[in-house]
Amino acid sequence: MNALAGGPTRRGAGLTGRLLVAQTLVLLTGGLTAWLIAANVGPTLFHQHLTMANVGATSAQIAHAEKAYQSANAISLSLALLAALAVAMAVNVYIARRIGRSVATIARAASDVAGGHYDIRLPSPGLGAEFDALASGFNQMADRLGSVERTRLRLLADLGHEMRTPVATLEAYLEALEDGVATLDATTAKLLRAQTRRLTRLSEDIGAVSRTEEGQVQLDIRLMRPESVITAAVAQAHEAKSVRLVTDIAPGLPELTLDPERIGQVLGNLLDNALRHTPTGGTVTISATLTSGTGGVALSVADNGEGIPAEHLPRVFERFYRVDPGRDRAHGGSGIGLAIVKALVEAHGGQLTATSPGTGQGSTFRVLLPRP
């Protein structure tokens, strides 16, 4: 009966046993080879030396000397081989057990990680650079898997939270329409469409950030000047609440290798974010300057709006992270626009940073694009 039918699973010898068997065979082969060579070559050489030295008056004396040599050689060689075999076997047992324990530890740790225990870490086995690299790589893998799992759990929780409000609103209004409590007038239809658009936008944003972070976005890279991309992004931006939109492009910017549609998406998201968080009468400035030293271009979107507290700055590019969750939901943001921006910028080999003096003092998002 096989394992699938519920019978016991047969296992071969463990790594330690196999190493011992292999090393023992090597030692026995080496010892036998040394014995055969000594037994066949040694007497012939000894006889030649006796003949050359004129040792022994008769053939009987020469034969007795050769027999004495063979006997002494056999005893000494046997003792030497046995001693060497004993020492070598002791060393082999020690090394095989150490390797076996290390591999068994890695196997147990891998099984724990497969079971969802991502906090497992391997110590250095002390068996050389190769095993140290294996342990280090395993620890990095476990840490990465743990980070991915935490992100997945947070993403599911945040996604459920984000969908709860529009779904609950749609359900409540549909029940009211069915019960005749509400009528499908222009106001109700507008509200229902707004909630469905919110769900659609959330779905599209999740798909976009997943593709960009997994490196599945195809970039249509071209050599072009950044001025045209900035101008197109500003033309598509929707100025809200009488917010002034200012463009400041330095002259003589170099050509860059970029995907104009994706960089336009980056600037569009940053402009939309700045406009949503800038009060009436405020100013949003998009600028482009030459970076000193690298020769690249820095694209900045700055506003004098709500600002970002210092403790929130390191996390503003995380999925669904909000400085003020209630306020951002009122603004209609999905909470992953900046995550999309970060992934697209990094796909171009660039860097994205966010700075803010504090609450009520505005914020600046800076995109550094390298020169080809």
3-state secondary structure of 270: helix
Q: What is the mean pLDDT of the chain?
A: 76
Q: Is pLDDT at 192 greater than 70 in this prediction?
A: yes
pLDDT at 317 (0 to 100) = 81
Q: Could you give the CA distance from residue 236 to residue 156 in angstroms, rounded to a whole number? A: 32
Give residue 253's region: left, alpha or beta (phi > 0; psi -120 to 50): beta
Q: Is pLDDT at 133 greater than 60 in this prediction?
A: yes
pLDDT classification of 315: cutoffs 50, 70, 90: confident
DSSP secondary structure letters along 137-177: HHHHHHHHHHHHHHHHHHHHHHHHHHHHHHHHHHHHHHHHH
Q: Is pLDDT at 91 greater than 80 in this prediction?
A: no
Q: Is 225 buried (19+), middle (13-18) or exposed (0-12) by CB count in 10 A?
A: middle
pLDDT at 241 (0 to 100) = 59
Length of the chain measured in residues: 372
Give residue 180's region: left, alpha or beta (phi > 0; psi -120 to 50): left
pLDDT at 8 (0 to 100) = 39
Q: CB–CB of 295/369 below 8 Å?
A: no
Q: CB–CB of 303/363 below 8 Å?
A: yes
Segment among 95-99, 142-146, 227-231, 336-340 with least mean pLDDT = 95-99
Q: Is pLDDT at 331 greater than 60 in this prediction?
A: no
Q: Is pLDDT at 257 greater than 60 in this prediction?
A: yes
Highest mean pLDDT among 12-21, 302-311, 318-327: 302-311
Q: Which has more pLDDT, 25 or 234?
A: 234
pLDDT at 124 (0 to 100) = 78
Query: What residues are paired with 355 via a beta bridge?
Result: 364
- Provide the percentage of residues in the chain whose pLDDT is more than 70: 72
pLDDT at 3 (0 to 100) = 41
What are the pLDDT digits (tens) for 357-366? 888 888 999 9
Q: Which has more pLDDT, 312 or 285?
A: 285
Mean pLDDT in residue range 170-194 = 83
Q: Is pLDDT at 214 greater than 70 in this prediction?
A: no
Distances (CA, A) of 74 to 46, 47, 50, 84, 251: 14, 16, 19, 15, 94
